[in-house]
Amino acid sequence: ETGVTQTPRHLVMGMTNKKSLKCEQHLGHNAMYWYKQSAKKPLELMFVYSLEERVENNSVPSRFSPECPNSSHLFLHLHTLQPEDSALYLCASSQTAQGASSPLHFGNGTRLTVT
Amino acid sequence: QKEVEQDPGPLSVPEGAIVSLNCTYSNSAFQYFMWYRQYSRKGPELLMYTYSSGNKEDGRFTAQVDKSSKYISLFIRDSQPSDSATYLCAMRVLTGGGNKLTFGTGTQLKVEL
C-alpha cells in the first residue's frame, strides 16, 4: 500500500450510532489532518496532528473526536451526529505541519451519510 | 466576503481547447499558492505550487500569480478528456500559521470529445 488510505469508503449511520473513520499513511510523514468536504463549500480543516500531538482544533463540535496513536494512523470517532454532518471526510498527511514546501497528500475520503 | 473566491462552474470545453481557471483572494498575507485536481470519488492531488508572482510551467499546465491584483490562474493547454475533474485553488501564508490552507470551492471542468 502506498500513499494515504482511508476506510471505510462509504458509511451510513443513524444519529444515535457510534462509528470511527480510519486513516493510514505510508509516506513517513509527521503531520496528519482531517478535512470536511461538503458540496459547493471549500474544504474545511477540522484537526491537525503533528508527531501525534494535536496542534489545531478548528472549533469542531465535540461529537467529532480525533485520535492519533502514532504518526502513521489517524482516527475520527463519531457519535450522535446530525444530518448536516453528512459529507466527504478527507484525511491528509504532510512531511511537517510547518513550512511552505510541505504539500498535503490526501486519501480518497470516506463518504458519510447521517440518517 | 469569502477569503478565496472560485467560480464553481461547471465549465465545459472541447478537446484541445485552452482552459483558464481562476481564483481571487482578499488576504494579502497569502504568499503560497497551490492548485489541486480532484477526480470524481477521489481525494485532491497536488498539481502545482508557487510562491512568487509570475508564471510557472509544468507540461501542459501553467500557474500564474498576480499578487497586486490578488488573482491566480491555472491554464491547461491542449485539454484532454482525462483533464475532466474539479480543480481546487488553495493558499496559505508563507511563515507561521502552520500548514493551514485556505481552499476555494473548486471549479468543475469537463473536456468533451
8 Å CB contact of B43 and A96: no
Of the two residues B7 and B22, the one the predictor is more confident about is B22
8 Å CB contact of B45 and A106: yes
pLDDT interval class at B75 (50, 70, 90): very high
User: What was the pLDDT predicted at A100?
Assistant: 58
Residue B54: exposure state from Cβ atoms within 10 A (0-12, 13-18, ≥19): exposed
CA distance A96 to A31: 5
What residues in B contact A106, CB-CB < 8 Å?
Answer: 36, 43-45
pLDDT > 90? residue B33:
yes
User: What was the pLDDT predicted at A54?
Assistant: 82
Residues in chain A: 115
Considering only CA atoms, which of B57, B39, B51 is closest in space to residue B90?
A: B51
User: What was the pLDDT predicted at A53?
Assistant: 81
- DSSP reduced 3-state for A19: strand
What residues in B contact A102, CB-CB < 8 Å?
Answer: 99
User: What was the pLDDT predicted at B95?
Assistant: 67
8 Å CB contact of B105 and A109: no
User: What was the pLDDT predicted at A9?
Assistant: 97
| Cell numbers that stand for A111 in this block | 463518504
8 Å CB contact of A40 and B8: yes
Considering only CA atoms, which of A32, A78, A35, A36 is closest in space to residue A52?
A: A32
Ranges in chain A, pLDDT < 70? 1-2, 99-101
Say if residues B76 and B14 touch (Cβ distance below 8 Å): no
Q: Give the nearest partner residue to B43 out of A31, A45, A107, using CB atoms.
A: A107
Q: Give the nearest partner residue to A108 out of B42, B88, B92, using CB atoms.
A: B42
Sign (positive/negative) of CA torsion A54, A21, A87, B32?
A: positive
pLDDT > 90? residue B93:
no
Average pLDDT, chain B: 92
User: What was the pLDDT predicted at B67?
Assistant: 93
8 Å CB contact of A42 and B102: yes
Average pLDDT over residues B31-59: 93
| Cell numbers that stand for A76 in this block | 475520527
How far is B67 from chain A, CA to nearest CA, in Å?
17
Strand partners, B25: B4
pLDDT interval class at B98 (50, 70, 90): low
Q: How far is CA A64 from CA A35, A36, A57, A67, in A?
A: 12, 11, 11, 10
- Only one residue has cell 480543480, namely B87
Q: How far is CA B1 from CA B54, B67, B80, B112, in A?
A: 26, 18, 34, 34
Average pLDDT over residues B99-113: 92
pLDDT > 60? residue B105:
yes
Q: In chain A, whose CA is at the least distance from the CA of B9? A: A40
